[in-house]
């Protein structure tokens, strides 16, 4: 499978949750024998540059203003247009991927989903999956930022369209799906709730993970996996309401 992943964060240029997700997603797909191309904006590049990183993974870095639209479009819209154009450019030179995946944040797939629904030939028969991380129209409200202030309002509208127009939505939690449902109806979009991928550093650590643990260890009264203590909660991630960490 030829898998293209669109993101605003990817190591080593950026840290954070989206970067970590994309790193492990690309790595695991490559380890399963799939070809992966990651697209990420990098304004230190004049136009775009494609290079191999790890086996099976290519990284395409492109300038967010490669289309020279800074005088007519704000940053988020210009970035989304640049994502669509670099995908079109690479399809013309390399052929179409089997799947396109993009983050919800900043609506980077706004123009791609719009162009697909308008019947642009270069996107014909390519499914577009949107992975839900934390759209701005949710986290801005949590952070008490006015969501009707420009340009944030239009960024939220771009995110909503990309989510609604996707062929598939992927969410790490049901909580995030329910939160998005407060702002828009996504009942008609195919949805899969999948925990974010991660790789354990050792076979022992992998065996202790909930996904790898035998069924018997999940039953009440069963012995806790080695290295874990009962009645203890370990939370990896940002302590914020949109991650389902409620304020006390």
Q: How many domains does the chain have?
A: 2
Q: Supply the CATH number for residue 35's domain.
A: 3.40.50.2000
Give the torsion through C-alpha atoms of 137, 139, 144, 148, to 10 deg.
Answer: -10
Residues 121 and 229 in one domain: no
Domain assignment present for residue 206? The answer is: no
- Residue 233 CA: distances (Å) to CA of 58, 193, 202: 37, 22, 22
Strand partners, 39: 6, 60
Q: Note the pTM of the prediction, 2 decimals.
A: 0.82
In a domain, 172, yes or no: yes
Q: Is the domain of 155 the same as that of 225?
A: no
Residues 191 and 231 both lie in one domain: no
- Say whether both 129 and 72 belong to one domain: yes
Q: Is residue 166 located within the same domain as residue 218?
A: no
- Span 167-212, pLDDT tens digits: 999 999 898 999 999 999 999 999 999 988 777 665 544 444 444 4
74-110 pLDDT per residue, tens = 999 999 999 999 999 999 999 999 999 999 999 999 9
């Amino acid at each position: 499978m030829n898998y293209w992943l669109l993101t605003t964060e990817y190591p080593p240029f950026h840290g954070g949750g989206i970067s970590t997700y994309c790193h492990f997603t690309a790595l695991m797909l490559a380890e399963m024998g799939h070809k992966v191309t990651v697209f990420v904006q990098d304004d230190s590049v004049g136009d775009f540059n494609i290079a191999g990183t790890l086996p099976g993974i290519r990284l395409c870095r492109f300038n967010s203003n490669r289309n020279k639209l800074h005088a007519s479009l704000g940053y988020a819209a210009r970035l989304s247009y640049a994502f669509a154009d670099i995908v079109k450019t690479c399809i013309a030179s390399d052929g179409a991927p089997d799947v396109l995946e993009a983050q919800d944040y900043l609506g980077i797939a706004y123009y791609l989903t719009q162009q697909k629904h308008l019947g642009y030939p270069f996107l014909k028969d390519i499914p577009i999956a949107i992975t839900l991380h934390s759209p701005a129209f949710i986290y801005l409200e949590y952070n008490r930022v006015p969501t009707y202030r420009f340009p944030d309002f239009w960024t939220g509208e771009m995110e909503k369209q990309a989510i609604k127009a996707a062929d598939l939505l992927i969410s790490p939690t049901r909580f995030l799906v329910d939160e998005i449902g407060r702002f828009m109806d996504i009942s008609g979009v195919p949805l899969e709730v999948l925990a974010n991928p991660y790789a354990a550093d050792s076979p022992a650590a992998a065996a202790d993970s909930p996904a790898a643990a035998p069924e018997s260890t999940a039953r009440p009264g069963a012995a806790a996996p080695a290295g874990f203590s009962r009645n203890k909660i370990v939370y990896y991630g940002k302590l914020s309401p949109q991650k389902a960490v409620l304020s006390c």
